[in-house]
Amino acid sequence: METKVNYTVVGAFVLVLSALLVAGILWFASGGGFQKSYDLYLALVDESVAGLSLSAPVKYRGVDVGKVKDIRLDPENPELVRLVFAIERGTPVKEDTEAVLKTQGLTGIAYVELSGGSRESPPLRAKTAGGYPEIRTKPSLAARLENVLTTVLAKLDSTSDSVNKILSEENLAAFKSTLADLSVVARTLASRKDAIDSGISSAARTFDNSAKVTAKLNAELGPMLDRLSKSAEAVTKMGEETAQAATSAGRTAESIGSDVKRFSADTLPELQRLLGEVNALTVTLRRFIHETERNPRGFLFGRKPVPAGPGEAPE
């Protein structure tokens, strides 16, 4: 007895099985059951992203957590580059997380490194509905080096210009002239060394003699100044007593009759004039004592005339 086989059913079964096999292979190749979920984040970079390509890795402290999804210029500001990252869901992207461009080894392959993300910082959220959470960026090492080199080169150019101005022909000629003058002065001083030494010695002796004379004058004039000071105090006391006497006389004159008042009217002006002269004498004595204490030599040798100033004829 022969078995009847339906070749149509067998062919259909083989086709369906082959399709399922191909689909399974493709599914496993694309990740299949191990497919991960990603969240999209935005970053705006104000430097060149040369070397960074699509699907470039995004690392968090060196661990691959995603890839670069999109690279384009920011339509609102052409000076910024708009980067979109696809980062694995569950990665601790916080508000203080920062993104920086880095290169891997000597090959120059660029990637994005995420850093920061302290434990106390809240998770990063989108500021607008339907938008992407924006990760802060900081300059890369290449950008910082470029800025430093630019600043250094600018300062070197400025220094070079200043050196060139200092070393100009006019300044060099003036410098040579100054050196020549200094050489002449040095030779002149060397030739007159003995005279200069003698002058210095004479000046030292003069200073010593002046110190001795001043000490002697102070010793001799000290008692005299004390006596003058006591005399001035006595004159001052006499003036005060005279003033008190004049005041008493005025009071007495008021208590006496009209005759005594007429006498007081004639006498009091004379007493007041006498008091004025006594006060002037007291001021003169005090000024004389002060000048003598400040310059004892002037008491014996007289005051030196003041030297004539520039443009003034000596008297």
Identify which of 199, 271, 211 has the alpha carbon closest to the alpha carbon of residue 241: 271
CA distance linking residue 296 with residue 302, whole number of Å: 10
Q: Which two tokens stand for residue 299?
A: 């008491």
Contact in structure between 221 and 299 (CB atoms under 8 Å)? yes
The per-residue pLDDT for 67 is 92
| Beta strands in 89-232, from DSSP E residues, in sequence order | 98-104, 109-115, 136-137
Contact in structure between 140 and 45 (CB atoms under 8 Å)? no
Q: Which two tokens stand for residue 258?
A: 């009209």
The per-residue pLDDT for 160 is 81
The per-residue pLDDT for 274 is 72
Determine what percent of the chain is predicted with pLDDT higher than 90. 12
Give residue-wise pLDDT tens across range 87-143.
998 888 889 999 999 887 666 678 899 988 788 888 888 888 778 899 999 888 888
State if pTM tops 0.75: no
The per-residue pLDDT for 34 is 54
* 29 vs 122: which has the higher pLDDT: 122
Contact in structure between 268 and 242 (CB atoms under 8 Å)? no
For the chain, the structural domain boundaries read: 35-138, 146-189, 216-301
The per-residue pLDDT for 59 is 92
Could you give the strand order of the β-sheet that contains 38-45, starting from the edge strand earlier in sequence? 38-45, 81-88, 63-73, 57-60, 109-115, 98-104, 136-137
CA distance linking residue 273 with residue 182, whole number of Å: 70
Q: Name the residue with tokens 């004829």.
A: 313
> Per-residue b/e over 58-81, b at no fewer than 16 CB within 10 Å?
bbbeeeebbbbbeeeeeeeeeebb
> Per-residue b/e over 219-254, b at no fewer than 16 CB within 10 Å?
eebeeebeebeeebeebbeebeeeeeebeebeeebe
Give residue-wise pLDDT tens across range 159-213.
888 887 777 778 778 878 888 888 888 888 888 778 787 888 878 878 787 777 7
Query: Residue 40's pLDDT band (boundaries 50, 70, 90)?
Result: very high
* 73 vs 240: which has the higher pLDDT: 73
Rounded to an integer, the average pLDDT of 142-168 is 83
